[in-house]
Structure formats: C-alpha cells, structure tokens
Structure 1
Amino acid sequence: MAEGGGNRQHPHNLQGILRMAVEAGSASDAPAPSEPMSEERKTWLREALAEVCKGQKDEVEQMKECLAVLRRDGTKGREGEEEEEEREDALELLSELCENLDNARDLMVLGGLDLCFSQCLSDPQGGVRWRAAQLIASCAQNMPEVQCHLLNQGALSRLLHLTDTDPQPTVRVKALYAVSCLVREQEAGLRAFLSLDGFSVLMRGMQSDIEKLRTKSAFLLVNLLTAHPEHRDTVLAMGMVQQLVSVLHSPHSPFHEHVLGALCCLVDDCTQGVKDCQSPALGLKELLNQKTNELKGKVECQEELEFCERLLKACFQGQPPDDNGMDR
C-alpha cells in the first residue's frame, strides 16, 4: 500500500465496507495467495454487516417507541395500573439500552432526557419516579456531554430535592445515585452541588432511617472530600464533625465505616477538623476506644478499625490517659 494510504476515507455504506474487507483479505501477508472471496462468502458478509447496522437502528426505534409511551396523555381507555406498568417498562428498557453510550447520546438528541426530567421525575407514581432517576444516572455516567445538558436543564436541583424529601425510599436512593453521576469528576456539577447546599442533603441522608440512603450519602461524602479536600472548610463550617459523631453514637451499622472515613478526611492535615473532633462534648475519644475494643478480631470490620485507630492517633495521641489507666 502506498505511504499516503493512511489518508483513505472510511466507507460510509455496506458496499464500501464489503469492498474494504475484500481488499484487506487480498492484501494479506499470508505466504500463499488467498483465493478470491466466493459469492456465497460475500453474501454472508453482506448480510452479517446489514444485521449489525439493523441492530443499531432497531435500538433507536425501540427508544422512540418507549418515548411515545411516556408522552401519552391519560389512560385512553386503559386501566391506570396497566398504564403505570407500561411507563415503568418503557423506562426500564431505556435504562438498559442507554448502558450503550451511543444510545444515551441518541436519547438526549431525541428529547428523551428532557421528557424524563420535566415529566417522569414528577410523576405521582413512585415506580415511575425512581426509574426515571435510574435512567438519568445510566445516561450521565462517564458522559460529559449528557451531564452538561442535564445540569443546564436544572436536573441537579430536582434530584437533590427528591433525595431529601420524596416519600418513597427507593426514589430517594436512586435520585442520590443520579446526583452522584452528575457531580463526581464533573467540575460544573460540583459547583452546582455546592451552590445548592448539596452537603446538607448528604448530612440529612446520613441521618435518615433508610439504610441504603445512609450508606450512599456517606460514601458520596467521602468520595467528594477525598477528591476535593479544598471544600473541607465549607463542610466543617456546617458542623459536619458534630453531625457525623452523632451518627456514630447510634447502634452500630456497616455504614459507620464510611462515616469514620469521612471524619478521617476532615482531620487529615486540617487543624480545624482535629479541633472539632477534640471537643469534650462529643465524647469521640471514648467512643473510638470503645469501637476499637469491639472491632478487634473481626476481619469484616478491619477497615473500620483502621479508621478508628487513625482518628485516635490524629486527634488524641499524647493526651493523658483516663483515671482507669486507659486512653479513652
């Protein structure tokens, strides 16, 4: 092939693809010259390539059909429960299809994300609301173009509101998942999150009685503080240390590991964070010593134990022992 062959244009139709495949076969470095492709082989290749292209087209058509279901007004003679199931099925199929990033972009172009945001997130049925939040999360993951579109539409504010106040636990959990997909590793999303007082939403999430919401709120807090330690002062000014320690005084839960991790983020190379933790009113020193004794020997709690030991060292090392001779 000539040196300038790298400038060849890629074919834009099946005939061009077929021609390129035939030429590639003829230019093979095999020791023996390859035989010309048979008509049967050409037919098979043509059909196979057509099926690939058809599959992508079919997925776009499926998305259009799902959007038609979501856009329908009223029951049109159907039972309300049946209509709800159809909308839920449509949203689930869209989420599945949009795991493919090309489909997520196509859905945005088709107006599907705008419909999801403006209509489905406000649907009276919780099953529709949480599936809409799930769809937004599926489309926003690792897709800056989609993230920016959703942020410009004000989706983050709506999702934070659902995380904070929706009466359905699953909606709150899925909405927080979508929030995470819009703010992690996304500077514009993080700025919007800060302007909307997102850290307060996470604080209240950790204080809720929904186990998954507590865990995911704490996990996102740790992730954001680890990636953006410059925002620790904002969090400390909110009284986050006091709130986190209060959570730790509740009956033990696996999500305490993330709470302790967040505290570690707040005290690492941070004088104010250490000072807040040392407040006698919090009783953190006693609590950490108690937890350390309870967690020793439990393999499944090893990371939580390490967080306790890090906090004791960062905040209380060198302090005099209690009257009973033990560091509290």
Structure 2
Amino acid sequence: MAKDGPNWDGLLKWSLAHSDGTSSNRNLSEEDRKWFLEAMQSQSVDVVKRMKEITLVMQTPEQVLESQGVTPADIEDLLDELQEHVEAIDMANDLHSIGGLVPLLGYLKNTHANIRAKAAEVVTTIVQNNPRSQQLVMEANGFEPLLSNFTSDPDVTVRTKALGAISSLIRHNKPGYSCSFV
C-alpha cells in the first residue's frame, strides 16, 4: 500500500549519499532555516492530537456518525490509522490516558463485523508485549468482549482477530488477572 506524503527513506538515502563527512557543515541562513522548519512541520503529525481526534469519533454514537455521512469503511480507516499510532508502546499506553481505550473496546461490540475485527486487531497491537496496556485493558473489562467475539461471533475473521488479541493480552499477564479456558 503506497503512503501519501514525503518519501523519508529516499530523503535519508539522498542525504547520506551527499554527505561524506569530509566537508564542514554549512550554516543555514535564517531564511533557509525558517523554510526548512516550516517544511518539516507541514509534513509532521501531532500523534497525540490525532489520537484525540480519533477518540472523539469513537465516542460518537453510530447513528450520529451515519447521519454525518461517516461510513463503516471510514471507521475502519480511522482504526487502521490508530493502529499505526499505537505501534509505539508510549502511544499505546497514552491511548488510555486520552480516553481512547474504552471507546475502542466498545467497538468490539459494533454491529459491523469488519469494525469488530479491526478493533480486535488494534487491541492486539496495544497489548502485545506491553504489560501496562495489558493491565489497562483488563481493568477496563476488555477481556469479556474479546472472549465473546472469539467464542460466538458469526464472522470467522472477528473470531480470529479476537483470539489474537486474547493471546497477546494474557501472554504476560500479572498475577491477579489469571484466565482459564478449561
């Protein structure tokens, strides 16, 4: 999938190819420095701000979103974006502090199977090898809807994604949050 925006990998390769360390660093004029900073800021995303915006959408009732023309595919796209942001462990832990964890867990009960599956996939990313987020998901009763989706959802993709989230959730669980399937 091609991403919009700058080709950071290409910029790095170009920079390395044109910098061999044999010449001294050039001092930028104030005008060049200002241009460079503006160019970088225009291509940067405030991840926490964006996660708050996604959280606001997740907190909005489904009927309101539909009346505003937001489709289930739009929600899936937002969850894809959220998943990219929470791949960083600090952002995964921050999701709870900005109020986004509970609405995300609510999407595990959404009427659309693709949204339930995508929500489980995001939960997997959040809790994978992350004891703090595992604890937060357990405290927010996130295990119950995952287990329900795994055991009784009619959609096989939802069941599979829920199993992945459960596996990541209980893998390194602390004492006091034991789970048993037997």
Alignment of 1:147 with 2:168, yes or no, is no
**Which one of the candidate residues 169, 178, 182 is aligned to 1:192?**
178
**Which one of the candidate residues 55, 60, 74 is aligned to 1:72?**
60
**Cα distance between partner residues in 2 of 1:41 and 1:142:** 45
**Cα distance between partner residues in 2 of 1:61 and 1:85:** 22
Residue 83 of structure 1 aligns with which residue? 71
Q: Is this contact kept in 2: 1:130–1:175, CA < 8 A?
A: yes
Task: Give the deviation of 1:112 after TM superposition.
Answer: 0.9
Q: CA RMSD in A?
A: 3.2
Deviates further, 166-175 or 148-157: 148-157
**Cα distance between partner residues in 1 of 2:157 and 2:108:** 13
Q: Which runs of 5+ in 2 are unaligned?
A: 1-22
Q: Is this contact kept in 2: 1:60–1:103, CA < 8 A?
A: yes
Task: Give the deviation of 1:83 after TM superposition.
Answer: 2.4
Task: Give the deviation of 1:68 after TM superposition.
Answer: 2.2
1:39–1:175 distance in 2 versus 1, CA, 3 Å:
same
**Which one of the candidate residues 15, 40, 48 is aligned to 2:29?**
40
Residue 128 of structure 1 aligns with which residue? 115
Counterparts in 2 of 1:219-238, with a 5 A limit?
A: none
**Cα distance between partner residues in 1 of 2:73 and 2:25:** 54
Aligned AA (1:60): V
Alignment of 1:100 with 2:122, yes or no, is no
Residue 162 of structure 1 aligns with which residue? 149
1:99–1:49 distance in 2 versus 1, CA, 3 Å:
farther
**Cα distance between partner residues in 2 of 1:46 and 1:149:** 43
Task: Give the deviation of 1:192 after TM superposition.
Answer: 2.4
Q: How many residues align?
A: 160
Task: Give the deviation of 1:69 after TM superposition.
Answer: 2.0
Aligned AA (1:169): V
**Cα distance between partner residues in 1 of 2:76 and 2:168:** 21
Percent identical: 27
- SS class of match (1:187): coil
**Cα distance between partner residues in 2 of 1:56 and 1:101:** 17
Residue 51 of structure 1 aligns with which residue? 40
TM-score by length of 2: 0.72
Task: Give the deviation of 1:102 after TM superposition.
Answer: 2.4
1:106–1:72 distance in 2 versus 1, CA, 3 Å:
same
Q: Is this contact kept in 2: 1:156–1:193, CA < 8 A?
A: no
Q: Which runs of 5+ in 1 are unaligned?
A: 1-33, 201-328
1:122–1:36 distance in 2 versus 1, CA, 3 Å:
closer
Write the deviation string for residues 138-163 of structure 1: whole angstroms up to 9, x where unpaired: 11112211111111122122211211
**Cα distance between partner residues in 2 of 1:144 and 1:72:** 29
Write the deviation string for residues 116-171 of structure 1: whole angstroms up to 9, x where unpaired: 11x21111111111111111111111221111111112212221121111111111
Residue 265 of structure 1 aligns with which residue? none
Alignment of 1:182 with 2:169, yes or no, is yes
Counterparts in 2 of 1:165-314, with a 5 A limit?
A: 165-188=152-175, 191-194=177-180, 198=181, 200=182
Of structures 1 and 2, the one scoring higher in RCO (CA 8 A, sep 6+) is 2
Write the deviation string for residues 87-132 of structure 1: whole angstroms up to 9, x where unpaired: 2211111112211222212222111111111x21111111111111
Aligned AA (1:120): Y
Write the deviation string for residues 216-263 of structure 1: whole angstroms up to 9, x where unpaired: xxxxxxxxxxxxxxxxxxxxxxxxxxxxxxxxxxxxxxxxxxxxxxxx
TM-score by length of 1: 0.42
Residue 100 of structure 2 aligns with which residue? 112
Q: Is this contact kept in 2: 1:164–1:172, CA < 8 A?
A: yes
